[in-house]
Structure 1
Amino acid sequence: MKEITTTELAKKMETEKGLNIIDVREDEEVAQGMIPGAKHIRLSEIPERVNEMDKNQHHFIVCRSGGRSGKACEFLSSQGYEVTNVAGGMLDWNGEVKK
């Protein structure tokens, strides 16, 4: 599984516009703040909402620490999606957050 650190993702966000970031945390976690521009799809909803993700685009998957996003990456990869797990998740995120 491909992984990216939160520092690498933050740098990528500075140089590339329109990155597809999917936050798979629960509602109460997201209420505390999420990466600006990220789309919220709870891990449990990924199978039924997978059609909301463009198969021709790369997606960065984030959760609290990297575990749930890893599971999402495994599932999405098996469905033919190009995904990268954000290692360390929001616990390691030092960038801006939106509430």
Structure 2
Amino acid sequence: MFFNRIPSIKTADLENQLSERPQILDVREPHEFKAGHIPSAKNVPLRKISTYTPKGKVYVICQSGMRSKKAAKLLKSQGYEVVNVRGGMSAWTGNVRGGKA
């Protein structure tokens, strides 16, 4: 189980799937999320990830890809289908919503 690879996706590939309304989980801190996030993303900070229950496949994103990878590993170990978004919001070129979470 320790060596289970976490599937990953490029930000551009995730952007191309937005019309399918994928479940996107942003694990950054609330102030980071409010500064700019993918419009359909739900914010659950990494420190609270153990309280989150995804419904179906979930794409996990953070600022650079490190926190999302940790969150994805934890969720996968609990049996959920997860995909880490490589590069995180630093690599995101799609629409961003700022302001209210």
TM-score, normalized by the shorter chain, greater than 0.5 = yes
Write the distance in 1 (CA, Å) between the matches of 2:12 and 2:94.
8
The one-letter code of the counterpart of 2:35 is: Q
Query: Residue 27 of structure 1: CA displacement?
Result: 1.3
Write the distance in 2 (CA, Å) between the matches of 1:23 and 1:13.
15
1:8 is aligned, of 2, 13, 18, to 13
2:42 is aligned, of 39, 44, 47, to 39
**4+ residue stretches of structure 1 with deviation over 4 A?**
none
Q: Which runs of 5+ in 2 are unaligned?
A: 1-5
Identity over aligned pairs, percent: 42
Q: Which runs of 5+ in 1 are unaligned?
A: none
RMSD: 0.8
Matched, 1:23 2:22: no
Write the distance in 1 (CA, Å) between the matches of 2:33 and 2:58.
18
Query: Residue 50 of structure 1: CA displacement?
Result: 2.0
1:27-51 CA-to-partner distances (Å, cap 9, x unmatched) read: 111121100110000000011x223
Q: TM-score, normalised by structure 1?
A: 0.90
The match for 2:85 is 86
Query: Residue 79 of structure 1: CA displacement?
Result: 0.1
